């Protein structure tokens, strides 16, 4: 039988709740909705629902969460086990700024009725809606106002899971906790593809697919362009945070982004998929001769070479400092953490412009700029 390249027929087994409250195993046929890059999410399309499985990023053989997406107004019978979510969600509480930004891109701002950590949200429309009462401030994400969430008739909460963390009293409510583990994907396109799941939740699936397809097309084109670069500069990133200097691991999204942009990332030999905690001496020994320094930071005032040296005199010993090849992104002024996760193509274009300016002569830097 000929199979569609992106959707194939498979058999999946779920525990179904019987009328008496027991559990029985039933074989169910369903189409798998193919995700090309995201490794932590699987979606199955059944006759009366969709089943979404989120893999546990910290225990690869386990399922973190299972959701059963049911269209509003349809009958619920013989549903697989899982948290039932009636879509489209209409009264969401969103715990992270990055997911607010993604929903805004999906034109689903009206679906957001509550946010946490308002101080870290930079979208003007969110801030304005909080001021006018259209969106409620639900408090700190680590200690949200549960009574306010409950009284707002919230029908779903978008949260970011952490290893061995719980959600306290929120887990005892009837409101679906939707764990978005997108940040644990180990490829830029893998994380960006999670916008398709968000689209399913708010009834914007076509818009989400269209947005992701454009990002994918741009990213692949840019990566192919950078792959042809004859010279690959050596690069490292960021700066000391207290007693530690964190560098992206070689298998991390950011580490791979630097390499896709046509650079030789100094710490690519570290196998971690997250950040690696290093000492100043370790970074200096490996990176002091690197040609380019990519610096993300959050400060009221932009870094300059003078202020960077004043903060730590040894920074001036790096070749990238001496040759004025440091590029900074002040995340207090530029919405990097909101926009980059679902637009890695924009970051890639910036990096290529910095590493290989001749390849993108007309591109204007979005996130980064040269230190003064």
Per-residue pLDDT reduced to its tens digit, 58-106 = 898 999 999 999 999 887 778 899 999 999 999 999 999 999 999 999 9
C-alpha span between 348 and 220 (Å, rounded): 10
CA-based torsion, 111, 116, 121, 127: positive or negative: positive
Residue 284 vs residues 67, 75, 195, 271, 277: alpha-carbon distances, Å: 47, 62, 38, 19, 14
Q: How confident is the model at residue 199 (pLDDT cuts 50, 70, 90)?
A: very high
Q: pTM of the prediction?
A: 0.88
Q: How confident is the model at residue 163 (pLDDT cuts 50, 70, 90)?
A: confident
> Average pLDDT for residues 302-317, to the nearest whole number?
97
| Residue 183 neighbours by CB distance under 10 Å | 18
> Average pLDDT for residues 205-230, to the nearest whole number?
97
> Average pLDDT for residues 293-313, to the nearest whole number?
96
Length of the chain: 372
Q: Which of 269, 267, 256, 191 shows the shortest CA–CA distance to 223?
A: 256
**Per residue in 324-356, pLDDT tens?**
999 999 999 999 999 999 999 999 999 999 999
Q: According to the model, what pLDDT value does residue 50 have?
A: 94
- Structural domains in the chain plus CATH codes: 1-86 (no CATH), 224-370 (3.40.50.1980)
pLDDT of 54 higher than 60: yes
Q: How confident is the model at residue 1 (pLDDT cuts 50, 70, 90)?
A: very low
Residue 115 vs residues 21, 111, 130, 342: alpha-carbon distances, Å: 36, 11, 9, 19
Cβ pair 328, 362 in contact under 8 A: no
Q: Which residue has the higher pLDDT, 57 or 349?
A: 349
pLDDT of 30 higher than 80: no
Q: According to the model, what pLDDT value does residue 29 have?
A: 54
pLDDT of 23 higher than 50: no
Dmax (CA) of the chain: 74
DSSP label at residue 24? E
pLDDT of 128 higher than 80: yes
SS3 content of the chain, % helix, strand, coil (to 5): 30, 25, 40
DSSP 296-334: EE--SS---HHHHHHH-GGGGGSHHHHTT-EEEEETTTS
Helix axes 97-105, 124-131, angle to 10 degrees: 100
Q: According to the model, what pLDDT value does residue 60 have?
A: 84
């Amino acid at each position: 039988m000929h199979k569609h390249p992106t959707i194939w027929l498979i058999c999946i087994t779920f525990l179904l709740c019987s009328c008496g409250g027991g559990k029985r195993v039933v074989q169910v046929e369903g189409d798998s909705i193919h995700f090309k890059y995201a490794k932590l999410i699987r979606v199955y399309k059944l006759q009366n629902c969709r089943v979404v499985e989120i893999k546990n990023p910290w225990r690869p053989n386990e399922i973190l969460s299972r959701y059963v997406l049911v269209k509003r107004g349809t009958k619920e019978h013989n549903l697989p086990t899982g948290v039932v979510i009636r879509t489209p969600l209409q009264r969401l509480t969103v715990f992270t700024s990055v997911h607010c930004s993604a929903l805004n891109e999906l034109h689903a701002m009206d679906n957001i009725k509550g946010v946490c950590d308002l101080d870290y949200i930079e979208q003007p429309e969110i801030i304005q809606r909080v001021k006018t009462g259209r969106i409620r401030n639900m408090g700190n994400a680590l200690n949200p106002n549960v009574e306010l969430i409950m009284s707002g008739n919230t029908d779903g909460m978008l949260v970011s899971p952490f290893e061995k963390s719980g959600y306290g009293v929120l887990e005892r409510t009837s409101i679906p906790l939707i764990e978005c583990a997108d940040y644990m994907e180990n490829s830029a396109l893998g994380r960006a593809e999670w916008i398709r799941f968000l689209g399913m939740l708010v009834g914007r699936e076509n818009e989400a697919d269209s947005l992701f397809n454009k990002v994918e097309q741009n990213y692949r084109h840019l990566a192919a362009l950078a792959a042809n670069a004859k010279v690959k500069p050596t690069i490292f990133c960021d700066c000391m945070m207290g007693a530690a200097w964190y560098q992206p691991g070689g298998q991390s999204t950011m580490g791979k982004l630097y390499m896709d942009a046509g650079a030789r990332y100094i710490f690519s030999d570290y196998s971690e998929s997250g950040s690696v905690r290093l000492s100043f001496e370790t970074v200096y020994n490996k990176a002091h001769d690197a040609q380019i320094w990519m610096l993300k930071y959050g400060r009221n005032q932009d870094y300059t070479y003078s202020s960077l040296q004043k903060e730590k005199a040894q920074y001036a010993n790096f070749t990238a400092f001496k040759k004025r090849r440091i590029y900074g992104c002040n995340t207090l002024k530029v919405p990097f953490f909101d926009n980059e996760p679902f637009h890695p193509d924009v970051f890639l274009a910036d990096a290529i412009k910095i590493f290989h300016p001749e390849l993108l002569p007309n591109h204007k830097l979005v996130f980064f700029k040269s230190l003064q």
